[in-house]
Amino acid sequence: MVTINENYLKLKAGYLFPEIARRVTAFAEANPDAPIIKLGIGDVTEPLPEACRVAMIKAVEEMGDRDSFKGYGPEQGYEFLREKIVRHDFQSRGCDITADEIFISDGSKCDCGNILDIFGHDNTIAVTDPVYPVYVDTNVMAGHTGPAREDGTYEGLIYLPISAENNFTAEIPDYKVDLVYLCFPNNPTGAAATREHLQQWVDYAHTHGSLLLFDAAYEAFITEDDIPHSIYEIPGARDCAIEFRSFSKNAGFTGTRCAFTVVPKTIKVKASDGTDVELHRLWNRRQSTKFNGVSYIVQRGAEAVYTEAGQTQVRKLIRFYLENARIIREKLSEAGIQTYGGVNAPYVWVKTPHGLSSWDFFDKLLHTCNVVGTPGSGFGAAGEGYFRISAFNSRENVETAMQRITEKFKV
């Protein structure tokens, strides 16, 4: 008899986005002329930078010529891309990372889930609340949790609440946790972490022998000078942190697919027989067994991000989304609504007015302004009373949505 991975049955059946879709569809059917604007999505809207497209077209042509054709590439990614990454993203910021510590992949989401392959099942695991749901659900699937509770949290996971009270940076635990997921700049709250906060985490990891899983997918949105772009800007992080990066949000690769994970060779974990094991070796083995690399064409496209033209175009994209975020912050403030984030991230995290629940605010915004956002409670119990508005949209949609809110939603 075939058995299944019963851990999947523990998953709260993708509640958030289906429920949003259900409510939007019901409203749209009852009000077929309502000009609904969706500011709920975590996907980019603007086209791929020209530099990336030109590089990919050239790569396609190379694939059509017997002499320049490429078959399987190196599982870890082409050196031309890994070299550019380390020089531009790490060494230029004083981070001591080398090209052989970079693993090119088809997405950070995948890497965040796949990384669990190299860990045991007895680790204690901490996530923030609210949280990017991938960290939680992949641990549920791997059997690292108990069942879900009524409020959507899982038994066996440690939730570190983040809210306005702690500047959306978790209080560092005074007990040992083995694996700690951190995401800065943060999805969903849009918060960034200071150097001091990250140093505290690195110190914590050293004290307790913990590993930090640092998701920096929104690194390119950092505008404030003193905010670290990489965990490796923090002394000591090379021994205790894996970093996830992606071309999805900076260069609009959500549909093109390219990302990378940094596993420094200096991270060592003790095996049960007491020997030191390099995580780099395990991840390399995992990737070369279960993954055959990202297409040559896409890696050439990602490489173009690091050209002068690519940098100019990526910066322009980021500025565009951040200007959307600024408009959202400004207009919501005019409407008397408290906002957070949106300065170093494409997300504005809104305190729901009048103590409305996240879902009540969702309904009110949908019904009075025909604007769709994401209820904060969908990202975790501590997100209740908050609401995420995404800056990933056209300027026109953002301006229209905000105009409606300031006009109709005076509080």
Ligand X SMILES: *Cc1c(COP(=O)(O)O)cnc(C)c1O
Contact residue for ligand X among 114, 139, 153, 187 (CB under 6 A)? 187
Distance of CA 232 to the CA centre of its chain: 18
Is residue 187 a known part of a binding site? Answer: yes
Q: Are 109 and 260 in contact (CB under 8 A)?
A: no
Contacts of 401 (CB under 8 A, 6+ apart): 37, 39, 369, 371, 393
Contact residue for ligand X among 37, 39, 40, 42 (CB under 6 A)? 42
Is residue 377 a known part of a binding site? Answer: no
Of 90 and 247, which CB lies nearer to ligand X in the complex structure? Answer: 247
Beta bridge partner(s), residue 117: none
Is residue 394 a known part of a binding site? Answer: no
Tokens linked to 71: 């078959």
The rounded distance, in Å, linking the Cα atoms of 267 and 276 is 9
Of 112 and 140, which CB lies nearer to ligand X in the complex structure? Answer: 112
Q: Segment contacting ligand X (CB under 6 A): 106-114, 156-164, 335-343, 391-399?
A: 106-114
CA-nearest of 209, 42, 45 to 134 is: 42
Contact residue for ligand X among 82, 229, 238, 249 (CB under 6 A)? 249
248 lies in the site for ligand X, by CB under 6 A? yes
Sign, CA dihedral 131-135-141-143, equals negative
The rounded distance, in Å, linking the Cα atoms of 286 and 308 is 34
Helix 296-303 vs helix 50-63: crossing angle, to nearest 10: 150
215 lies in the site for ligand X, by CB under 6 A? yes
Q: Minimum distance from CB of 53 to ligand X (Å)?
A: 18
Distance of CA 207 to the CA centre of its chain: 27
Q: Segment contacting ligand X (CB under 6 A): 55-63, 72-80, 222-230, 243-251?
A: 243-251
Q: Are 198 and 219 in contact (CB under 8 A)?
A: no
107 lies in the site for ligand X, by CB under 6 A? yes
217 lies in the site for ligand X, by CB under 6 A? yes
Contacts of 360 (CB under 8 A, 6+ apart): 352
Q: Segment contacting ligand X (CB under 6 A): 246-254, 267-275, 284-292, 355-363?
A: 246-254
Which of helix, strand or coil describes residue 296? helix
Number of residues that bind ligand X (CB under 6 A): 15
Q: Minimum distance from CB of 406 to ligand X (Å)?
A: 28
The rounded distance, in Å, linking the Cα atoms of 248 and 216 is 11
277 phi, psi to nearest 5 deg? -120, 130
Q: Segment contacting ligand X (CB under 6 A): 102-110, 151-159, 195-203, 351-359?
A: 102-110
Contact residue for ligand X among 45, 124, 138, 254 (CB under 6 A)? 254
Q: Are 320 and 328 in contact (CB under 8 A)?
A: no
Contact residue for ligand X among 82, 84, 109, 144 (CB under 6 A)? 109
Residue 375 parent element (H or E) = strand 374-375
Of 51 and 217, which CB lies nearer to ligand X in the complex structure? Answer: 217
Q: Segment contacting ligand X (CB under 6 A): 10-18, 59-67, 103-111, 206-214?
A: 103-111
Under DSSP, the state recorded for 297 is H
Q: Minimum distance from CB of 126 to ligand X (Å)?
A: 16
Using CB positions, name the residue nearest to ligand X: 107
Is residue 292 a known part of a binding site? Answer: yes
Instruction: List residues forming the annotated binding site for substrate.
Output: 15, 42, 109, 132, 187, 292, 388
List contacts with ligand X (CB under 6 A).
42, 107-110, 132, 183, 187, 215, 217, 246, 248-249, 254, 259
Instruction: List residues forming the annotated binding site.
Output: 15, 42, 72, 108-109, 132, 187, 218, 246-248, 257, 292, 388
Instruction: List residues forming the annotated binding site for pyridoxal 5'-phosphate.
Output: 72, 108-109, 132, 187, 218, 246-248, 257, 292
